[in-house]
Chains A and B, each alone.
Chain A
């Protein structure tokens, strides 16, 4: 179980709160969507779950314990811009094998060609790079995946292909996932439940878990208003 308890974040010690009182629980193998317009802190929330940032308030717990500070993080993030998440001076084989040696079957299912691994990042397209970034994040130590607009810059066919491979991997290995996206149709296709953030004026505080209101998940705030704006 990956849990965020009363999570809050702001940049600096006196900046405005980006969000506060965020609660979420993701079980093993469960795929949860996070939906909302840009600028609400969805990406920052993903970074908190993945341990990139330390929360200003609240805690992130994995199986009841804090995330490990050193070593391989069991919560792995895949970002929107793969060209910014790989080392431009490394050949991609080195990038891919940085954390573990991905099995052939995974590379095949993601459609990664062996020839790409001897190239540098600028010699591949965005879709090809993102496949490598995904394979890199799905190591045996990964229990949860945070996919932040993972396929927003890809065409529909590539998007469907990558997600099918990722969903198969998650199902087979009991890996849970948080899918951050502004594409409702994609979230409906992938997720068992979707947490929707408020509209343009609602802010991150006015968000609600559409399917799990009773579970006490989602963001604290005016739930009725958020449910109205999300409908």
Chain B
């Protein structure tokens, strides 16, 4: 459904006066999502997770340069195609209630999303009603304003907005932040149901523990690149399935496990492997060049020592 090949995003930023410097927050990023799959994108803040979502939707700011391939259904995602597809075939479930229009009743917002996805008036109304009932929202809720509903309910409305247009690729940005256990389980359960219905779902999150039971595969981000793409089942106390030291550190840092905190910095090196200066087994090769992806049957890893 979606394939990202060596995506690189660079920013040009003005420093003092007219001096300009380039930042490369995302460099050499790879992943793919299949139909019927829920792929979790895991990483610390600043690892480039949200930039990936913005790049797929084509909503990066103007001072950005995107290089590398973004393929949707096998064809390149050009700015023109992104504009045509977003809201129709590619939908975003944003993070919080703050993304709803505070001055419009919830029903109106879902109907507008349906209309924007190309439906006619009556059809849009039906689709909106169906989306409401799909997420267990009472018809009365459609007359509420965003400030009248709880965080969990707002997330259901956002999910309804994103899925009303029958999109094939759904990107959820931090769907569990600020939610307690039951609500986060519900939020991820909805996404799993979408994947089971044949959609592709990309879940961007920092919360490894919450998303693991629902994900098919996990892409681990560090320093703007995918260090490992692996089956979710490989995150277990038997660490042998995890091929990258950062993935293992992520698992060991969970409070249920070792609560270990050896690799806490978010900065990557200027050249070489972005993890080399934190890694216990780094050597001259790691400092010299970034590792190329080594393919396995269930994913790949970028590590000179894998």
- Listed in ascending order, the chain A residues whose CB lies under 8 Å from chain B are 36-39, 80, 111, 125-128, 149, 152-161, 163-164, 182-183, 185-186, 188-190, 200
Contact = CB atoms under 8 A, between A and B. Distances in A.
Secondary structure type dominating chain B contacts: loop
Contacts of A149: 178
B253 A159 contact: yes
Contact of B260 (A158, A160, A186, A188): A160
A160 B255 contact: yes
B294 interface: no
Interface in B177-218: 177-183, 206, 208-209
Contacts of B46: 125, 127-128
Contact of B264 (A39, A157, A185): A157
Given A125-B46, A160-B261, A183-B255, A153 B177 contact: yes
A108 B236 CA distance: 32
Given A152-B177, A200-B182, 19 more contacts: A38-B178, A125-B46, A125-B266, A126-B45, A127-B44, A155-B44, A155-B45, A156-B206, A156-B208, A156-B250, A156-B255, A158-B44, A158-B266, A160-B259, A161-B264, A163-B259, A182-B181, A188-B255, A189-B255
A-B pairs with the 5 shortest C-beta distances? A161-B264, A161-B261, A160-B261, A125-B46, A156-B253
B254 interface: yes
B79 to A, nearest CB: 26
Given A37-B181, A111-B264, A160-B260, A154 B206 contact: yes
A39 B181 contact: no
Contacts of B240: none
Contacts of A152: 177-178
B263 interface: yes
Interface string B30-72: 0000000000001111100000000000000000000000000
Nearest to A39: B150
B163 to A, nearest CB: 24
A164 B261 contact: yes
Interface size on B, as a range, is 20 to 34
Contacts of A39: 150
Contacts, number: 89
B166 to A, nearest CB: 32
Contacts of A182: 180-181
Contacts of A153: 45, 177-178, 206
A80 B180 CA distance: 14
Contact of A158 (B209, B251, B255, B264): B264
B256 interface: yes
Interface string B239-251: 0000000000111
A171 B93 CA distance: 42
Contact of B250 (A128, A157, A189, A190): A157
A185 B261 contact: no
22 contacts: A38-B178, A125-B45, A125-B266, A127-B45, A127-B46, A128-B266, A149-B178, A152-B177, A153-B177, A153-B206, A156-B254, A158-B45, A158-B266, A160-B259, A160-B261, A164-B259, A182-B180, A185-B254, A185-B255, A185-B256, A188-B255, A200-B182
A38 to B, nearest CB: 5
Contacts of A125: 44-46, 266
Interface in B217-270: 249-251, 253-256, 259-261, 263-266
B254 A154 contact: no
B151 interface: yes
B255 to A, nearest CB: 4
Q: Which of B181, B206, B261, B264 has the most CB of A within 10 A?
A: B264
A160 B180 contact: no
A124 B255 CA distance: 25
Contacts of B260: 160
Interface in B139-192: 150-151, 177-183
A128 B264 CA distance: 10
